[in-house]
A and B are shown apart, each in its own frame.
Chain A
């Protein structure tokens, strides 16, 4: 296991170097590792790399967002640390960075929803959905690239919203103010019933941040609402008898000390 992870780290480092469009002259061993990495990359892809695709990948590299451009200093540090002796801390940092870069370049997860729509999402978004991540961990790494993961309980509209939330949440999480503003904007765009459908989907996929955010929104929505409204909204059947209902209403009357008798009914 340790050896495999070590070799995968080395491969990731090489891939990240290629992704950063940095060419290096190296020793015979480095050349051999390069060849092995290239061979594996080509074998894992259906289409062989062509000069046109290489140019496309470079073009994509140039479209790096602000967050990704922040990784450039880390990469520079990575290069310097390579020349010097690499400490454990920096090694783990570089490995994490390499993993992120590698996943962005190669690993995309296919998700097939209840109504037959297939979504291609980044691996880090799939990681947010713990149910999906558990599924990926259970299957082998080779087959997960080819097979779309079926999501039997999630509709395409909800999944699109969840993916959008994860992307913008990550972008907005740079500062607390932006994050709060984003969450308010996201919630304002949904009506109550869409919010309810989305929280059911988030619960199934175990997307924790979205789940907490939506719980807060729904709690805010049902505050100061009547019992009848809450029943309709949540689709709950009233299984109280008339006498029981009247009894419980009176039993809980202590909580409505400032509410008029007429307006409460």
Chain B
């Protein structure tokens, strides 16, 4: 099949919203560049939050409009406070929409539990003395607690939003 010229792709991308642009970015490298265009994302931002908001939050330095959009979207979803959330299979510590820390991954956790692997993927610093087996056991418990909190946030986000409305 013949590939569409880039100018046509850009015309089409102007008509997509952020979810579909995110899909477009995963298609290939060239599409990632086109679908990351600052004009596209700044237009989406203005459409959703207004011109004044856009002027205030305009990206500085190496940041892009996509990054700004992402942060603002998280603020809308979970508020400004410090929270543990899940996006996809990963758990994050988030403050004011910005990711502060990557806490772990459900996938890696399942691997660890399933295969009884000695590799530890959690980034939690654990200061304790004891045997390796005991350490691994404690970290597993911590991961479960953190993941539960993240799942709870995801599940309750919708309820919170409807209450606000």
Contact = CB atoms under 8 A, between A and B. Distances in A.
Interface of A: 193, 196-197, 199-200, 203, 211-212, 215-216, 218-220, 222-227, 230-231, 234-240, 245, 248-250, 252-258, 261
A101 B120 CA distance: 82
Given A234-B3, A238-B28, A254 B87 contact: yes
B15 A216 contact: yes
6 A-B pairs with least C-beta separation: A253-B88, A235-B1, A219-B15, A255-B22, A252-B22, A215-B11
B27 A231 contact: yes
Contacts of A226: 23
B20 interface: yes
Secondary structure at chain B's binding surface: helix, strand, loop or mixed? helix
Contact of B4 (A200, A238, A239, A258): A200
A256 B11 contact: no
A203 B89 contact: no
26 contacts: A196-B4, A203-B5, A203-B8, A211-B11, A215-B11, A219-B12, A219-B15, A219-B20, A223-B16, A223-B20, A227-B23, A230-B23, A236-B27, A236-B28, A237-B28, A238-B27, A239-B28, A248-B25, A250-B89, A250-B90, A252-B23, A253-B89, A253-B90, A254-B87, A255-B22, A256-B88
Interface of B: 1-5, 7-9, 11-20, 22-32, 70, 73-74, 77, 87-90, 154, 157-158
B20 A224 contact: yes
Nearest to B71: A254
B20 A200 contact: no
A203 B9 CA distance: 11
B23 A235 contact: no
B1 A234 contact: yes
Contacts of A216: 15
Contact of B26 (A220, A245, A257, A261): A245
Given A236-B31, A257-B87, A230 B12 contact: no
Contacts of B14: 215
B26 A248 contact: yes
Given A216-B15, A219-B15, A238-B27, A256 B22 contact: yes
